[in-house]
Amino acid sequence: MTSYWSKYTESYKLWEKANNLFLNGVLTLSKSPMHIAPGACPVFAERAQGAYFWDSDGNRYIDYPLALGAVVLGHAYNDVDRTVAEQMAKGILYSLSSRRELELAELLCDIIPSAEKVRILKTGSDAMSAAVRVARAYTGREMVAVCGYHGWHDWTVIRTTRNAGVPAALSKLICEFMYNDIHSLQSIFDQHAGKVAAVILEPVGMYAPEHHFLERVSALARKNNALLIFDEIITGFRLSLGGAQSYFSVKPDLSAFGKAMANGYPVSALVGNRDIMNAVENRVFISSTFGGELLSIAAAIRTIDILREKKVTDYILALGQQLKDGLNAALEQQGIDATCEGMPHKTFLVFRDMAGASGKMIETLFRQECLARGVFLGYGHFTCFSHTSEDIQASITIAAEVLRVIRDALDQGNLPSLLKGPIATDVFKRY
């Protein structure tokens, strides 16, 4: 695929190469242009600073994906990078444990209400898989009740359209329930009494909990002697320093943190109840060569210190709300059937079909035109400590201008002709 726009020439030259070298042309599926605006979006970034990045053709963008939510302070954040450089001079991975691991674990236990014992890992998928293993070992049960996305490992993708290569037998062990629908979880316990090891969910995914959903999930899990696992990979360090469990005062048995924990350095953590962890520690195998990699651990300690000292969460939530309110006002003004949803730590646009155009088509055009004007509003919008209120306002102004273009195209019935490439596709669908 090539781009018709000269502004993305270098990106699409590299994209040709990438397609020959990588599965799907990318290392992270949601960074593929196929899922953003095929042929009509940048593909390769060259450098990033603060709340901005520059693509390989030299175009600058205000960044809202922020590396899928991992960057919470800002790109190339001096204070964190200096700490990393200091650690680099002392070695990055030892043949024995390092006291810095203890420092990070103590910090996590200090800020996360349910954290008493910790396993430091690399990715969110690692931490979530470790949580499932601990829960199965502790309860002696194999089934898990799951809601939503939790990474790329077998048990999490079995019920998606990208489940090739995953043993079909596994599907018997995974039951899906719906967020904010306590009956869907109750019916799993009714059908599989005494067999469910854990209930796994993001405490807040696309929507906020309603009708005390989290408390009711917690009560149901306890009543059925299943562990409650919170996936705080996104909520952690963004919704509140202690995660959604702190924000909503609901304590899980185990929880997983990652992404924003180290401002983009790769590190994650499984944390939880000490008695549970102690009961299984000689029977489970959760171990990795790079578990004690010290650049990321040093980055996490410094990042969490800064988050705490500078009250970063309050700041990014206020900006997230400003963005959400501004986008919703602009949508309403143009009469576009779409809404900006989500709690302010992560918002996203939902475009619905209208005037003969599919929601996905309108969304693709919206992304194409916002990117052309220097704003990257991807699937999930995050804010960071380096964004300013002026950045947010400038982005809203640009989004409003794009929505006016979309409104005109819908009125004239020529929206498809404005698309410079095919309609974007979803990374996968659930079933």
Ligand X SMILES: Cc1ncc(COP(=O)(O)O)c(C=O)c1O
| x/- letters, 17..56, toward ligand X (CB under 6 A) | ----------------------------------------
Q: Work out which of 83, 123, 255, 273 binds ligand X, going by CB under 6 A.
A: 123
Q: Which residue has the tokens 């974007």?
A: 424
Handedness of CA 373, 376, 379, 384 (dihedral sign): negative
128 near ligand X, judged by CB under 6 A: yes
- Minimum distance of ligand X from residue 408's CB (angstroms): 35
Among 41, 68, 323, 331, binds ligand X (CB under 6 A): 68
Determine which residue in the list 35, 133, 141, 150 makes contact with ligand X, applying CB under 6 A: 150
The answer to whether the CB of 8 falls within 8 A of the CB of 58 is no
Q: Does 203 bind ligand X (CB under 6 A)?
A: no
Our finding on whether 299 is near ligand X (CB under 6 A) is no
What is the spatial distance between Cα 99 and Cα 354, in angstroms, rounded to a whole number? 58
> Which member of 149, 189, 248, 351 binds ligand X (CB under 6 A)?
149
* The only residue of 55, 57, 63, 202 in contact with ligand X, by rule CB under 6 A: 202
User: Quick one: 69 or 326, whose CB is closer to ligand X?
Assistant: 69
245 to 264: interface string for ligand X, x by CB under 6 A = -------------x------
**What is the token pair recorded at 195?**
């067999």
**Closest to ligand X by CB, 170 or 400:** 170
Q: How far is the CB of 211 from ligand X (least distance, A)?
A: 22
Candidates 121-129, 136-144, 269-277, 299-307: pick the segment binding ligand X (CB under 6 A).
121-129
- Ramachandran bin of 194, using left for φ above 0, alpha for ψ from -120 to 50, beta for the remaining angles: left
Orientation of helix 99-111 relative to helix 294-309, angle to 10° = 30
Q: Which of 50, 65, 151, 236 binds ligand X (CB under 6 A)?
A: 151
**Residue 147 corresponds to which tokens in the numbers above?**
């809601």
- Count of residues that bind ligand X according to CB under 6 A: 13
CB 53, CB 81: distance < 8 Å: no
| Percent helix, percent strand, percent coil in the chain, to nearest 5 | 45, 15, 40
The CA distance from 389 to 373, in Å, is 18
* Residue 155 contacts ligand X per CB under 6 A: no
By CB under 6 A, name the one of 173, 233, 241, 299 that touches ligand X: 233
**Sign of the CA dihedral running 16, 426, 149, 163:** negative
Torsion of CA 110, 263, 261, 430, to 10 degrees: 160
Q: Does 234 bind ligand X (CB under 6 A)?
A: yes
Taking the least distance from each CB to ligand X, the nearer of 227 and 399 is 227
What DSSP line would sit under 104-122, residue for residue?
Answer: HHHHHHHHSTT-SEEEEES
Interface ranges with ligand X (CB under 6 A): 68, 123-125, 128, 149-151, 202, 231, 233-234, 258
